[in-house]
């Protein structure tokens, strides 16, 4: 995962490990964390694999610049085109979707939308069952927070569904590009 994030960040141009950390923190940092303890070894692995090049700078700091090599670019693009593997990958992948071909992108987004819709339906069903169960017990107030967490899941799934819907309708672009 981290390796692909690094490759993705290097798509923009060469950077040091330190820069990469800062870039990650300031972009995907809200939902993905990279510590130096994982970042530097990951860069070393990528260099060993021949996915990135490492160039020591002459500016007297012991600074090293990493740049994407064609092999690394290919590995990144291949990863990006794959279907999403884990839930936590969703946002990272979408973050890099500007690099992905429109066809595959839309295919993936449709998949995500479908998954989100299914989840809303499932949780709605669970919520109904829970509600009728609560109606039949002595002290339903004692389960208030448990039920609240279920509501969180439902709100989250609905939000996600709406978000994907907005993306597909290019709602956000209207913002950026009001005349269209």
Partner DNA sequence: TTACACATGTAAACGGTTACATGATTAG
Partner DNA sequence: CTAATCATGTAACCGTTTACATGTGTAA
Applying CB under 7 A, among 11, 64, 95, 107 the residue interacting with DNA is: 64
Nearest to 105 by CA among 84, 74, 119, 75: 84
Applying CB under 8 A, among 106, 125, 129, 159 the residue interacting with a copy of itself is: 159
DSSP structural state of residue 15: B
If one asks whether residue 26 binds DNA (CB under 7 A), the answer comes out as no
Q: Do residues 66 and 52 touch, judged by C-beta distance below 8 A?
A: yes
Question: What is the closest distance, in whole angstroms, from the C-beta atom of residue 150 to a copy of itself in the complex?
Answer: 9
Contacts of 67 (CB under 8 A, 6+ apart): 10, 13, 14, 52, 53, 55
Phi, psi torsion values for 116, nearest 5 degrees: -65, -40
Applying CB under 7 A, among 13, 31, 36, 82 the residue interacting with DNA is: 36
Applying CB under 8 A, among 91, 106, 125, 129 the residue interacting with a copy of itself is: 91
Residue 38 binding: pick among a copy of itself, DNA, none (C-beta 5-8 Å cut-off by kind): DNA
Would you state the structure tokens that stand for residue 61, as one six-digit string?
Answer: 């700091």
If one asks whether residue 18 binds DNA (CB under 7 A), the answer comes out as yes
If one asks whether residue 163 binds a copy of itself (CB under 8 A), the answer comes out as yes
Q: What kind and span of H or E run contains 180?
A: none
User: Between 36-49 and 17-27, two packed helices, what is the crossing angle to 10 degrees?
Assistant: 120
| Residues binding a copy of itself (CB under 8 A) | 27-28, 30-31, 91, 94-98, 123, 131, 134-135, 140-149, 151-153, 155-156, 159, 162-163, 166-167, 170, 172-173, 175-177
| Residues binding DNA (CB under 7 A) | 1-2, 16-19, 22, 33-38, 40-44, 60-64
């Amino acid at each position: 995962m981290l390796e692909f994030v690094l490759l993705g960040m290097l798509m923009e141009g060469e950077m040091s490990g330190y820069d990469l950390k800062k870039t990650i923190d300031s972009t995907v940092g809200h939902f993905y964390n990279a510590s130096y303890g994982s970042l530097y070894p990951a860069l070393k692995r990528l260099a060993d694999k021949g996915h990135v090049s490492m160039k020591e700078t002459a500016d007297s700091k012991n600074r090293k610049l990493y740049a994407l090599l064609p092999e690394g670019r290919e590995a990144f693009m291949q990863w990006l085109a794959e279907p999403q593997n884990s839930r936590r990958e969703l946002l990272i992948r979408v973050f890099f979707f500007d690099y992905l071909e429109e066809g595959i992108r839309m295919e993936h987004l449709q998949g995500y939308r479908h998954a989100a819709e299914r989840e809303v339906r499932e949780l709605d069903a669970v919520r109904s069952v829970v509600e009728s169960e609560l109606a039949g017990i002595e002290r339903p107030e004692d389960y208030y927070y448990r039920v609240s967490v279920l509501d969180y899941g439902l709100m989250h799934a609905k939000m996600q569904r709406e978000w994907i819907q907005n993306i597909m309708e290019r709602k956000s672009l209207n913002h950026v590009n009001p005349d269209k």
